[in-house]
Structure 1
Amino acid sequence: MKESVNLFITDSWDTDSIVTLYRDAGWWRDEYNPDDIPRIIRSSSRFCVGVLNTTCETIATGRLISDQVSTGYIQDMCVLKKYRGLGVGRRLLQFLTHAAADAGLVNIILVAEPGTCPFYERSDFITNKNKIFLLFKERLTNENSGRRLSPD
């Protein structure tokens, strides 16, 4: 990539730039609340952003969620479409993998979009046919979580 991208860990970031990335990736839905973004960032073990040095545009993000002992999950990794194929995603993945190792984690699980396995496999991730990733079919709310919020 001709222009340099600075990758770093942060505990706060411009909400609009993160929403722009998530929207560009096709993840953002109208019912999502942008006010949740700061909490998502703070709650992540490591939240990484990639910033184009020439314009200070946020062009990439990814996060590591961890039990702080042995296992971390890399997820929400995305690069703006116009910067894909230029090595930014590979650098971001390496950055997050090193952040996990620096935190003492020995297992990394990665949540990926359909069709992206070859990209991750080139960075030594494997598709484990013996494991199945399950996603709860509904978005949890207080009404459908099955938890009692207050005593009867």
Structure 2
Amino acid sequence: MPNGSKTEFIIKTIKSASMDDLMGLYKDAGWWDSSFEEHPESLQSIVKDSALFVGAFAGQRLVGMGRALSDLASDAYIQDVAVLKTFRGKGIGEKIVQTLVKRLKEKGVDWIGLVAEPGTSSFYTKLGFETLKDHVPLKYKD
């Protein structure tokens, strides 16, 4: 898209998505894992089984996504926020996060967290997130 052109997009909650679009987003974000090719149904499970999965669409094409893992009662974690590189800088990522937060709050979720990739924390702090002082994210090691 040429610089300065206006891109129309819509944000909506979805329970399924095109495999090609999902693969494109994961590859573009650098999150692609060969196990997705061995078990393509796992990509659809990511959409279907998330508490909330939000897609950003330019026409029929999925150009951005974000999801929340939650009990939908008290706590939620936002993850996998991604926008195709060619669509970045248009406010799509912000709208995805804002939509996730709004829908979670509507369901009564009062604790919303995420783990930001290095170099992305300023994106999230301008959307109302703050560093958890005295907390360290941990991951189970196989």
Report 1:88-127 matches (<5 A): 88-127=92-131
**Aligned-pair Cα RMSD in Å:** 1.3
Superposition deviation, residue 83 in structure 1: 1.2
Distance in structure 1 (CA, Å) of the matches to 2:120 and 2:40: 26
Equivalent in 38, 46, 49 of residue 44 of structure 2 = 38
- Between Structure 1 and Structure 2, whose CA radius of gyration is higher? 1
Given that 2:72 and 2:104 are in contact with CA atoms closer than 8 Å, whether structure 1 keeps it comes out as no
After TM superposition, the score normalised by the length of structure 2 is 0.90
Instruction: Mark the runs of 5 or more structure 1 residues left unpaired by the alignment.
Output: 139-152
SS in 1 for 2:97: helix
Instruction: Mark the runs of 5 or more structure 2 residues left unpaired by the alignment.
Output: none
Distance in structure 2 (CA, Å) of the matches to 1:10 and 1:58: 11
Partner of 2:133: 129
* 1:34-68 per-position Cα deviation (integer Å, ceiling 9, x unaligned): 22112221211111111003xx2210001011112
Q: Which has the higher helix share?
A: 2
* 1:78-128 per-position Cα deviation (integer Å, ceiling 9, x unaligned): 000111121111111101110111111000011321110000000110011
Structure 1 outlier segments of 4+, above 4 Å = none
Equivalent AA in structure 2 for residue 119 of structure 1: F
